């Protein structure tokens, strides 16, 4: 089976490079597989740097240029991949059918979104364009689709997140079962931080909308301090990280947040 997957993905890459851009529908027809299968292949190939994922298909890999803001997000999808997936798989177990959840911008929340695609009757509130794209309606009418997506609106950041007063107002009157937040940095004194002032305000509104605040942060985020604080550590109900975090940092974090989950990679 692994050989078949490798061969299929190799054919996708070859076709994209030959034509420059190919739709999911065309690839699915050529390979005799479902659009869902092709979409997952494209996701993985994009993570591996073989091609660029675009709405409805894939294109040859681009560097810089007009897609520069997208490349910033795409570049980060290739960092700490195993840790982000381990964190996402663990956290996905918290989400049950019928829930309303909030997902922030950032690549870890984007990885979590992929784990939640099969959760039935899920309402997803997000300020992230890539996260919203994960839950896009399938191209084929016979594929199951039960999720609802609420996109906040706002000013677009280099991470393809929508932030600012419009996003904050969209979140102020919502009530979510859980809010999942990816962060730029985690520090004992600075708390959860981001380099973007407007993003901090939006993230605070997202966390306030959730009955439970869950922070997703791989071990490389520890000790990193961005320009502005989102919230202090004691305001976090649960922080989920990976086992690359050193024992001393685990002890410090465990004494600050409601719960600390350390996930093996």
Residue 12 forms part of a structural domain: yes
Lowest mean pLDDT among 55-59, 92-96, 210-214: 55-59
pLDDT of residue 169: 94
Beta strands 148-151 and 21-23, pairing class: unpaired
Q: What proportion of the chain, given as a percentage, has pLDDT over 90?
A: 52
- Please check whether residues 104 and 47 belong to one and the same domain: no
Look at residue 66 and tell me whether its pLDDT is greater than 70.
no
Per the structure, the count of domains in the chain is 2
Residue 194 neighbours by CB under 8 Å, 6+ apart: 183, 184, 185, 200, 203, 226, 227, 228, 230
Domain limits at 232?
79-263
Question: For the segment 145-187, what is each residue's pLDDT rounded down to a tens digit?
Answer: 567 889 999 998 877 899 999 999 999 999 999 999 999 999 9
Confidence of residue 65 (pLDDT cuts 50, 70, 90): very low
Tell me the HSE value of 147 on the side-chain side, using a 13 A CA sphere: 28
pLDDT of residue 20: 73
The strand order across the sheet containing 123-126 reads 148-151, 123-126, 100-103, 178-182, 213-216, 238-242, 259-263
- Please check whether residues 87 and 37 belong to one and the same domain: no
- Please check whether residues 88 and 164 belong to one and the same domain: yes
pLDDT of residue 3: 45
Look at residue 67 and tell me whether its pLDDT is greater than 50.
no
Beta strands 57-59 and 21-23, pairing class: antiparallel
């Amino acid at each position: 089976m692994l050989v078949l997957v490798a061969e299929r993905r190799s054919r996708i890459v070859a076709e994209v490079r030959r034509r420059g851009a190919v739709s999911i529908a065309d690839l699915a027809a050529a390979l005799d597989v479902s659009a869902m299968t092709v979409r997952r292949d494209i996701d993985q190939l994009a993570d591996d740097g073989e091609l660029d994922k675009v709405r409805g298909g894939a294109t040859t890999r681009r560097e810089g240029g007009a897609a520069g803001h997208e490349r910033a997000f795409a570049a980060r999808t290739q960092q700490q991949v195993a840790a982000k997936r381990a964190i996402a798989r663990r956290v996905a177990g918290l989400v049950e059918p019928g829930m309303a959840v909030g997902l922030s911008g950032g690549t870890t929340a984007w990885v979590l979104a992929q784990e939640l695609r099969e959760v039935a009757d899920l309402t997803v509130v997000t300020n992230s364009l890539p996260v919203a794209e994960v839950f896009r309606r399938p191209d084929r009418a016979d594929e199951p689709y039960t999720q609802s997506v609420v996109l906040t609106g706002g000013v677009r950041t280099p991470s393809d997140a929508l932030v600012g007063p419009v996003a904050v107002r969209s979140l102020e009157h919502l009530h979510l079962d859980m809010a999942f937040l990816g962060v730029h940095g985690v520090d004992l004194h600075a708390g959860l931080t981001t380099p973007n002032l407007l993003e901090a305000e939006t993230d605070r509104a997202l966390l306030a909308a959730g009955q439970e605040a869950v922070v997703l942060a791989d071990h490389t985020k520890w000790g990193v301090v961005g320009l502005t604080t989102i919230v202090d550590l004691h305001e976090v109900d649960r922080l989920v990280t990976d086992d690359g975090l050193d024992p001393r940092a685990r002890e410090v974090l465990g004494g600050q947040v409601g719960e600390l989950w350390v996930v093996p990679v």
